[in-house]
């Protein structure tokens, strides 16, 4: 029952013809590795980015990871960037659904880039609410969401309380 409802709730828009930016929502890092959500969303973004070789790929690092030591943040950065050399927009530290589009808007605005189409890769239970936030920040852009199943992102070690158990 929960999986059926989660599938219906998740946003998986049709992919557009052209894309200027692909964004990987951050779902934190645990003590020694990425959370399931961060890893699965990164895999999804990689699959989509292969279809759009000229698109930039943006991502941030969750600012409330349990350890901000070099090895944890470094591992998150290495994992997220190794596939996208030369195409990356690093946002720095982010902590909410509002931080990520706000930082993207600042970085892209400073570069003078106009984004007509954005694909956001997210976790399914988070995607519907998150899409509303992105549409607010980018009212003149086509915002397309693609989601990983909520149960694949669940992680008891996730420092984000609501991400620990997908049914919540």
**pLDDT, tens digit (0-9, with 9 covering 90-100), for 29-59:** 666 677 777 788 888 988 899 899 889 888 8
Residue 19 has pLDDT above 90, yes or no: yes
Whether 94 and 100 have beta carbons less than 8 Å apart is answered as: yes
* pLDDT of 120: 95
CA pair distance 21, 74, nearest whole angstrom: 23
pLDDT tens digits for range 136-157? 999 999 999 999 887 776 666 6
* pLDDT of 7: 75
At residue 70 the predicted structure's pLDDT band, cuts being 50, 70 and 90, is very low
Name, in order, each residue with C-beta under 8 angstroms of 131's C-beta and a sequence gap of 6 or more.
11, 120, 143, 145
Radius of gyration of the chain, Cα coordinates, nearest whole angstrom? 15
Mean pLDDT of the chain: 79
């Amino acid at each position: 029952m929960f999986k059926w409802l989660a599938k219906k709730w998740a946003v998986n828009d049709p992919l557009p013809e052209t894309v200027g930016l692909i964004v990987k929502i951050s779902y934190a890092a645990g003590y020694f590795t990425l959370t399931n959500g961060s890893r699965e969303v990164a895999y999804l973004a990689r699959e989509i980015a292969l279809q759009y070789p000229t698109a930039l790929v943006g991502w941030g690092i969750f600012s409330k990871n349990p350890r901000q030591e070099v090895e944890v943040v470094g591992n998150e950065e290495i994992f997220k960037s190794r596939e996208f050399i030369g195409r990356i927009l690093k946002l720095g530290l982010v902590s909410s659904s509002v931080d990520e589009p706000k930082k993207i808007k600042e970085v892209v605005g400073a570069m003078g880039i106009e984004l007509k189409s954005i694909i956001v890769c997210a976790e399914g239970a988070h995607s519907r609410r998150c899409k509303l936030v992105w549409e607010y920040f980018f009212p003149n852009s086509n915002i397309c969401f693609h989601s990983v199943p909520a149960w694949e992102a669940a992680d008891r070690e996730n420092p984000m309380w609501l991400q620990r158990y997908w049914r919540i």
